[in-house]
């Protein structure tokens, strides 16, 4: 479900960053800035579109009278060259918000498109793709929304959403064997523990986690680890290096694959907004 207040907050911050309300082009458009114009939004490449509410909000926060006529929804497959939205409003309002609106749409659509591509590689299996907390500061909501639109499942949004004990936590504790089960299960959210060696799996299982994460395991190690777990908890795999590895993993008896790459190294989708 969309968090409208967070969308408004993040768009407002972006408009402030761009000084949209102090756009110096107002001087050049002094005589025509209040003129009503029509504009068309066009996709310049194939994509999965994401971020429509952010796009709209960029204009609405400057001028609530701007009108939109979309012929698609978030998650739809869009073809290169398609006109996907027609916009009507004051010239100055549209031009001042244009860049902020496009920035959200191209970035978020890039994430959804990439996620959908990865998802097709595991579509024949029961495995769910998970995103991570490897996101840009201040844009986590947008990035995790976009992975979900692309078909992935959101992992925890923040450190308070669930307990994950990873390698550095375990180093500080002196190893898995020193973890207190009673303390861990005092929280009602999910509990996950990371293992880096086959030899750590039984110790982790003794703590009754909801999920065990195999980090940087080879394919053979994952197979062996899955047989040890034997459905006693869910299995998550992380540390993928290539699309080819993802294809191989789709054949294994695991539940989740977490990928930081879903929200990193994003190629933004190219859109154009032109006055008609």
**pLDDT tens per residue, the chain (276 residues)?**
789 999 999 999 999 999 998 998 887 887 776 789 999 999 999 999 999 999 999 999 999 999 999 999 999 999 999 999 999 999 999 999 999 999 999 999 999 999 999 999 998 789 999 999 999 999 999 999 999 999 999 999 999 888 899 999 989 988 888 887 666 766 667 889 999 999 999 999 998 899 999 999 999 999 999 999 999 999 999 988 777 788 888 889 999 999 999 999 999 999 999 998
End-to-end CA distance of the chain: 34
Which pTM was predicted?
Answer: 0.93
Whats the size of the chain, residue-wise? 276
Residue with tokens 């994460």, as numbered in its chain: 213
Query: DSSP state, 193?
Result: E
Extents of the domains making up the chain: 4-113+266-275, 120-262
Residue with tokens 């004051």, as numbered in its chain: 90
Neighbours of 31 (CB within 10 A): 7
Dist CA 190 CA 4 (whole Å): 27
Dist CA 225 CA 167 (whole Å): 17
Structurally, at CATH architecture level, domain 120-262 sits in: Alpha-Beta Barrel (3.20)
Predicted local distance difference test score (pLDDT) of residue 181: 67
Dist CA 27 CA 96 (whole Å): 12
Class of the CATH domain delimited by 4-113+266-275: alpha beta
């Amino acid at each position: 479900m969309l968090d409208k207040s967070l969308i408004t907050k993040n768009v407002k911050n972006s408009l402030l960053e761009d000084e949209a309300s102090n756009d110096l082009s107002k001087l050049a458009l002094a005589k025509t800035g209040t003129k009503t114009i029509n504009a068309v939004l066009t996709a310049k490449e194939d994509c999965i579109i994401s971020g429509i509410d952010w796009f709209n909000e960029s204009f609405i926060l400057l001028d609530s009278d701007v009108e939109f006529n979309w012929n698609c929804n978030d998650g739809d497959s869009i073809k290169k060259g398609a006109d996907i939205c027609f916009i009507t409003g004051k010239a100055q309002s549209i031009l001042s918000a244009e860049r902020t609106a496009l920035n959200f749409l191209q970035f978020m659509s890039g994430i959804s498109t990439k996620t959908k591509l990865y998802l097709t590689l595991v579509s024949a299996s029961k495995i769910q793709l998970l995103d991570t907390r490897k996101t840009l500061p201040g844009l986590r909501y947008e990035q995790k929304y976009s992975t979900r639109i692309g078909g992935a499942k959101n992992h925890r949004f923040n450190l308070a959403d669930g307990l994950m004990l990873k390698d550095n936590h375990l180093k500080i504790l002196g190893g898995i064997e020193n973890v207190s089960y009673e303390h861990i299960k005092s929280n009602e959210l999910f509990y996950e523990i990371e293992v880096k060696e086959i030899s750590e799996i039984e110790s982790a299982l003794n703590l009754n986690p909801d999920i065990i994460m195999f980090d940087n395991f080879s394919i053979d190690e994952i197979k062996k680890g899955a047989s040890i777990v034997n459905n006693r908890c869910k299995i998550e795999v992380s540390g993928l290096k290539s699309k080819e590895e993802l294809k191989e993993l789709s054949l294994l008896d695991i539940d989740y694959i977490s990928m930081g790459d879903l929200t990193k190294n994003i190629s933004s989708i190219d859109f154009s907004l032109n006055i008609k």
